[in-house]
Amino acid sequence: MDTTIPIGVLSKLSGLQELSMDVNIDGDWWDSDVKVILNELSSLKSLSILELYLPSAELLQQLRWDSTKLMYPNFYKFRFTVGHHRQRIISHLPPEVKEILKEQKKLKKCLKYISGEGTPIEINEALKHATLFFLDCHWTVKMLSEFENENMVNLQFCLLME
């Protein structure tokens, strides 16, 4: 896409219940535009389903109803892809794992963390509410417990790649 959502449009959609922007968007403009979009989401009190591609973990902190309360624990369903989106991974899964993952994507709260470093607090915070965690191309974590076990109590499915 060569266009973006104009400033002020999302905040006017006060009855919006579902928003999906979980696409691989290339270009430096998305990194700045996504911040504006996230600021507008805080006014959408009816929003219950949100799918987003976020270039960095820090952007998860902007998902707040006000300056303190995170909005995503209240979502009926969320799917966040954090990091550099890489579509090619799914095609390398064995068919039986692909089918399992397809079924698990129906779970309500999914977090994909791709090409990250360390265990940012923003990821751990979102992980507390996730039912599916997909960790891909993460070279600095040696053990899953580095994300802290208490943050993973709601997980029903975890997929680790590369």
Question: Domain spans of the chain?
Answer: 10-161
Provide the pLDDT confidence category of residue 89 given band limits of 50, 70 and 90. Answer: very low
Read off φ and ψ for residue 159, nearest 5 degrees: -120, 125
Whole-prediction pTM value?
0.84
Query: How remote is the C-alpha of 15 from its chain's centroid?
Result: 22
Provide the pLDDT confidence category of residue 28 given band limits of 50, 70 and 90. Answer: low
Distance, in Å, from the CA atom of 113 to the CA atom of 82, rounded to the nearest integer, reads 5
User: Is the Cβ–Cβ distance between 152 and 127 less than 8 Å?
Assistant: yes
Residue-wise pLDDT tens digits, 99-148:
877 776 677 899 999 988 899 999 999 999 999 999 988 888 889 999 99
β-bridge mates for residue 161, sequence order: 136
